[in-house]
Amino acid sequence: MKLFTVGPVQMYEHTLKERSKPIPYFRTDEFSKVMLETDEMLKELLHTKKDSKSIYLTASGSAAMEAVVCNCFNKKEDKLLVVVGGTFGKRFLDICEIHEIPNEAIILKNNEVLSEEHLLKYNDSGITGVLVNLDETSTGQLYDIDMISSFCKKNNAYLIVDAISTFLCDEYYMDKWGIDATVLSTQKGLCLSPGMAIVTMNKKIVEEKVNKNNFPSLYFNFKDYMSNMERGQTPFTPAVGLVFEIYDMLKTIKKEGLSNRLKKIDNLAKVYRENIVADGISLPEYPLSNAVTPTVLEKPVAMDIFNELKNDHDMFVNPTGGVNADHVLRVAHVGDLNEEDMIEISSKIKELYKKY
């Protein structure tokens, strides 16, 4: 089986080995040390200061999206601007609606690029926070972070970034880009098994928002997580085995060098993109993350190709939801994949496309 999907991804051998070890008891100094060291490495890779605080949730990424919104904002004081460029942006909007947090939404049309005009409309309109999925994984569009960041600075709005698929695939500079909170999840850019999500927040949003907010929740109360993390623990039983997977992965990336890891993924994306374009097969024109390439098929055969790749070749690509279901396949470049894999999957897709 080979996964060309963006989460779960084709996992690395060293992760599979780590996963096969017995799970230890975790209320120990030894485990605390692993948590604290993991968090230190994570902050380094996020390019954020040591005084930022991370929340390690045992939950999928969507739980972290909901938790960050509820812990940082409330319906009395806030008005959030949500970038809705696909299914994950829509999820942020649903979270605001469910928790009745006042909001405005920038709803992008199919293939529309997020531009300065979209944002300018909301200058001086009382926006207190912006929610954005930097790589909107459902379309692969990578938004212009400098543009979003300067809107937030001008409007004194907090910037919450879901970096679940862009982190460790594209460059990411949390502090330099003025990002107040970053949302991550283990099964995408981190290339691990699903089950944990992380929110890393800077000192400013912790002090000014989280500590003052009274979000009524037992499991998702960030204050509880922050005080436990002072000693390298979580309030509830974490997915202990996954903590070791994260530790092992961050250590590996540090050894390999972050820029080498990013270069490798950038190269795989290039190789695939150069090879896939053919008669009837094209790429979107908006800016793309290195994580995944939406592959646009003129004939409505995306699901046929998806199924044949899966059933006859044991190769998995991401189908696409919504209006593009018949016309777009998404192929990931993250995980334990190499140039030959990129050439193989692009050739196979072209071959099957011709057949239909």
Ligand X SMILES: *Cc1c(COP(=O)(O)O)cnc(C)c1O
Binding site for ligand X (CB under 6 A): 7, 60-62, 88, 133, 137, 162, 164-165, 185, 188
Cα pseudo-dihedral 54, 55, 61, 64, rounded to 10: -110
Which residues contact residue 152 at a Cβ distance below 8 angstroms, ignoring those fewer than 6 apart? Answer: 130, 158, 159, 178
Shortest distance, CB of residue 226 to ligand X, whole angstroms?
Answer: 22
- Closest separation in Å from C-beta 195 to ligand X: 9
Q: Shortest gap between Cβ of 343 and ligand X (angstroms)?
A: 26
What is the distance between the alpha carbons of residues 210 and 16, in angstroms, rounded to a whole number? 36
- Minimum distance from residue 317 beta carbon to ligand X (Å): 15
Residue in the shown chain whose Cβ atom is closest to ligand X: 61
Strand 281-282: give its sheet, edge to edge. Answer: 281-282, 292-297, 328-332
Among residues 63, 71, 60, 72, which one has the least CA distance to residue 7? 60
Specify the residue, 138 or 202, whose C-beta has the smaller distance to ligand X.
138
Nearer to ligand X, 18 or 162 (CB): 162
Rounded CA-CA distance 153/155 in Å is: 5
Comparison of 74 and 133: residue with beta carbon closer to ligand X: 133
The alpha carbons of the chain give a radius of gyration, in whole angstroms, of 20
CA–CA separation, 63 and 108 (whole Å): 24
Q: Which is nearer to ligand X, 15 or 62 (CB)?
A: 62
- State in angstroms the smallest separation of the CB of 318 from ligand X: 10
* Residue among 86, 149, 105 at smallest CA distance from 289: 86
Least distance (Å) between residue 193 CB and ligand X = 12
CA dihedral 170, 173, 174, 177 (to 10 degrees): -110
Round to whole Å and give the CA distance between 274 and 351. 16
| 352, amino acid identity | L
61 or 129: CB nearest ligand X: 61
Q: Which is nearer to ligand X, 127 or 334 (CB)?
A: 334
Closest to ligand X by CB, 141 vs 234, is 141
Q: Report the nearest approach of ligand X to the CB of residue 304 (Å).
A: 25
In the complex with ligand X, the residue whose CB is nearer, 15 or 137, is 137
Cα distances from 280 to residues 318, 327, 351, 354, in angstroms, run: 19, 11, 12, 9
Q: Smallest distance from the beta carbon of 136 to ligand X, in angstroms?
A: 6
